[in-house]
Amino acid sequence: MGGVLLLGNGWLTRATAAAVTGELQAAACTRGEPLLIAVDQEGGIVRRLAWAPPTQAPAEMSSPADARRQGAGAAAALRSVGIDVDLAPVADTPSVADSFLGSRAFSRSRTWNARLTAAFVQGLQRNGVAATAKHFPGLGLAGGNTDDGRIVIDAAAWKLRLGLGPFRSAIRAGAKLVMLSTAIYPQLDPTDRPAAFSPAIATGLLRRTLGFTGVAVTDSLTAPAAEAIPHAPRQALLAGSDLLVFGAERASARAVSALAADAAGSARLRARLAQAAGRVRALKAWLATHGGPACTS
């Protein structure tokens, strides 16, 4: 297991969060390796720790310095309760004012978003929490939320590439993770695979074109488009995703069993699992050198 994602609002008080992460890491260290422990702490409507920064929604952050301060504040709060990965910032650039993203996006300007995305990444990572730029290659042109239905973004490739600026900026700022969306982009991949299952996007565009070398994490694979794919965990890994996210414990347990069965008969999948595990362990090592969890013998 790579890690644990803490979901839901309200129950993660300081005391509860610290107790839960402590128990999780103690259990993980019986096997000799710490967990990544992640939350969605964007600010505004997506803020799992109600008592912790960001105290502003992304759309309310007024400058790169402000975004950097908000990221630093979030990192301090997360680290104080044993959380080491923030599934933020949103690097998407909405194309319309009434986008489903709302205040989760910094603005409707690609250049402004690039500056604030990089600053938020720096605020988190200079204070020991890994940042996650999401939702690659962008949900700014999406007509709805991928958590609620199958979303197809049929914009021209050149138009989609315009939205890559904030992701490129996050990568240059050193973002440790990039989250792949579960939207479908026919003009980037004519096979109509969601981005998290698309070699053309996950490997070609993200790694070869943008030069990302960190951990590619999926958006939730319990989303409708992802759940419709046979052998989804295998397909996501083979496409280039390293860390698989599930919105329910039963779904993750089924995924582990399916991967074990599929890997037994596929040298290619075993090689990808080893590569993905190497990237996840490199992230854990980075966190340990920045004051994060480590198992001692």
Mean pLDDT of the chain: 96
> Among residues of the chain, what percentage have pLDDT more than 70?
100
Q: What single-letter amino acid sits at 127?
A: N
Whole-angstrom distance, CA of residue 218 vs CA of residue 179: 5
Residue bearing tokens 């488009």: 225
Mean pLDDT across the stretch 251-256? 92
Say what the pTM is.
Answer: 0.96
List, for residues 112-170, the tens digit of each pLDDT value: 999 999 999 999 999 999 999 999 999 999 999 998 899 999 999 999 999 999 999 99
Residue 13 DSSP code: -
| Spatial contact of 85 and 130, defined as CB atoms under 8 Å apart | yes
Give the residue from 162, 160, 235, 146 showing the smallest Cα distance to 199: 235
Give the residue from 129, 124, 131, 130 showing the smallest Cα distance to 90: 131
Res. 236: pLDDT tops 90: yes
List, for residues 152-166, the tens digit of each pLDDT value: 999 999 999 999 999
Provide the pLDDT confidence category of residue 68 given band limits of 50, 70 and 90: very high
Give the residue from 153, 122, 150, 121 showing the smallest Cα distance to 225: 150
| Spatial contact of 71 and 130, defined as CB atoms under 8 Å apart | no
| Spatial contact of 196 and 219, defined as CB atoms under 8 Å apart | yes
Q: Give every CB contact of residue 94 below 8 A, 6+ residues apart in sequence.
A: 101, 105, 108, 140
Whole-angstrom distance, CA of residue 111 vs CA of residue 168: 11
Give residue 297's pLDDT.
65
Give residue 2's pLDDT.
87
| Spatial contact of 279 and 241, defined as CB atoms under 8 Å apart | no
Three-class secondary structure of residue 246 per DSSP:
coil
The CATH superfamily assigned to 3-289 is Glycoside hydrolase, family 3, N-terminal domain (3.20.20.300)
Q: Give every CB contact of residue 171 below 8 A, 6+ residues apart in sequence.
A: 133, 178, 210, 211, 212
List, for residues 3-49, the tens digit of each pLDDT value: 999 998 888 999 999 999 999 999 999 999 999 999 999 999 999 99
Res. 281: pLDDT tops 90: yes
List, for residues 95-117, the tens digit of each pLDDT value: 999 999 999 999 999 999 999 99
| Spatial contact of 133 and 177, defined as CB atoms under 8 Å apart | yes
**Residue 89: is the preceding peptide bond cis (ω within 30°)?**
yes
What are the sequence ranges of the domains in the chain? 3-289
